[in-house]
Amino acid sequence: MTIVYDDLGDEATEQVPTRRIAFTINGRKKIAEVEPRLLLAHLIRRGLGLTGTHMGCDTTNCGACTVLVDGRPVKSCTMLAVQVDGRAVATVESLAGPSELHPLQEGFRAEHGLQCGFCTPGMMMAASALLAENPSPTEDEVRWALSGNLCRCTGYQNIVKSVLWAAEKLRSASAG
């Protein structure tokens, strides 16, 4: 697939160097021509139109832009798009299945783990990486795993509960 960018003007198109990258986004293969300086977050939001990945600070501090690259949580405002060449990217849009929500999504809703919702996609992606590695985290482990993600609304207590709720549900699903 080709990604169409905003019109850069005729002259500009010739001047701007681009590189071709091939990558996977939420399980689908893509090819893109990108400026080498393009941030991964902008490729996701503007190039792919996946606006669930938010940008809060663009300085690697808030974690709103967290996505998974080859399963590891990454702040996509701090990675260049060209760096995902040959790799797999997963965003919040990949969490829910066709008919049901991911336990993390259910957990955030059940435990009132969000208010304005701006930090939520990043929180859930960071939490999904934690739960993939550690299915039975303690409260402290959850807090530590989310310490790169800022929330201004909730005070975190309910976010931690939401993640523990999801961990429990995932465990009972795999036990069942």
What's the half-sphere exposure (Cβ side, CA atoms, 13 Å) at 171?
Answer: 12
Residue 108, interface with ligand FES (CB under 6 A)?
A: no
Q: What is the footprint of another protein within residues 157-176 (CB under 8 A)?
A: 157-160
Stretch that binds another protein, among 81-89, 108-116, 128-136, 166-174 (CB under 8 A): 108-116
Nearest to 121 by CA among 134, 133, 132, 108: 108
Percent helix, percent strand, percent coil in the chain, to nearest 5:
40, 15, 45
Instruction: State the minimum distance, in angstroms, from the CB of residue 78 to ligand FES.
Output: 6
* Calpha distance 160→162 (Å, rounded): 5
CB atoms within 10 A of CB 57: 13
* Calpha distance 24→98 (Å, rounded): 19
Instruction: Choose the contact partner of 77 out of another protein, ligand FES, none; CB within 5 to 8 A by kind.
Output: ligand FES
Number of residues counted as binding ligand FES (CB under 6 A): 23
> In angstroms, how far is CA 93 from the centroid of its own chain?
8
Stretch that binds ligand FES, among 16-24, 57-65, 99-107, 129-137 (CB under 6 A): 57-65
Q: What is the footprint of ligand FES within residues 130-159 (CB under 6 A)?
A: 151-154
Residue 6, interface with another protein (CB under 8 A)?
A: yes
Under the rule (CB under 8 A), what is the footprint of another protein? 5-12, 15, 35, 37-38, 45-46, 49-59, 61-62, 64, 91-93, 95-96, 101, 105, 108-110, 112, 114-121, 124, 142-144, 146-160
